[in-house]
Amino acid sequence: MNLSEILPQLKAWFPAADHKERDLPGGGRWYYVPWQSIRTRLDEVCPDWQVSYGEPIYLDKYCVISCTITICGVSRQAVGNAPIELISSKGKDMSRGTPIERAIADAFKNAAEAFGIAAYLDEQVDDKTKADFVRYMQKHGNGKAVVNYQENQRLERGEPPTPKRVDPPSRPFGQPAPSTKSVITESQRKRLWAIATNNGGYTEAGFKRLIEGCGFASSRSITVDKYSEICLRASDPGTAAIYNQESQAS
């Protein structure tokens, strides 16, 4: 067995369920594969793989450590780091494990990526790979990936983040249920279609997939409170390409 023979297995995309969300520096969210899943991949593909770590170093507010992974006699090294403290805005300790444990996990994932393992999730990867990943996640029932993809695109263009939805408080016991949400007008539906075709480049089938992905059976059932958000998605060519291709494959 040599490295070139097993690289395709090492680089293969992980099952959709193995991907977890994480916050990106500067805003936005994307995905990563936990170190436990990477270790399982190594055990399955190359059981005699080896790993070693350097001594932890503390730089300012971070713990830094190096990791070397050896596969089929080939060694590759990477550095990982972790904040010594993870304190929320409310003063709550958000850290899991010690700084050394978290730095080791980060270094391990980075060293594995040096072999191409889960490298398709690097935030610097090309747009085509990101779009392919979104389609992959959608195919396996994860519709959140396209939302994260579009939001990241907005932030890269310097646009403000999409406001988070704030659910209304639950009605007190004994009070009548709130009235049914209003749906958009005919003119608003026509405007949405114009945005989707002229700005986003949606096909009719792709536009239908967009509406369904937002939780509505058709544009006639879109509620007023979701209209602006859907208009933003409709105007994005990257998201349109994903939904257009998905509609062709279905």
Per-residue pLDDT tens listing for the chain (250 residues): 899 999 999 999 999 999 999 988 888 899 999 999 999 999 999 999 999 999 999 998 999 999 999 999 999 999 999 998 876 556 666 667 789 999 999 999 999 999 999 999 998 888 899 999 999 998 888 888 988 988 888 888 887 776 665 444 555 545 555 556 799 999 999 999 999 999 889 999 989 988 988 888 899 999 998 898 899 889 888 888 888 877 776 6
Dist CA 33 CA 96 (whole Å): 17
Q: What is the CATH number of the domain that holds 30?
A: 3.30.390.80
Q: Report how far residue 148's alpha carbon sits from residue 163's, in angstroms, rounded to the nearest whole number.
A: 13
Residue written as token pair 């608003």:
188
237: its two tokens: 């060519």
Q: Find the domain containing 232 and state its range.
A: 126-161+183-250
The answer to whether 249 and 203 are in contact (CB under 8 A) is no
Same domain as 157, residue 89: no
Q: Tell me how far the alpha carbon of residue 233 is from its chain's centroid.
A: 16
**Are 121 and 30 a contacting pair, CB within 8 Å?**
yes
State whether 54 and 131 are in the same domain: no
Question: Domain for residue 177, yes or no?
Answer: no
* Distance (Å, whole) CA 66 – CA 110: 9
- The residues with which 68 forms a beta bridge, in sequence order, are 52, 77
pTM comes to: 0.67
Q: How far is CA 182 from CA 23, 125, 179, 191, 222, in A?
A: 34, 41, 9, 17, 9
Considering its fold, how many domains does the chain have in total?
Answer: 2
By the 8 A CB rule, do 181 and 218 touch?
no
Are 132 and 250 in the same domain?
Answer: yes
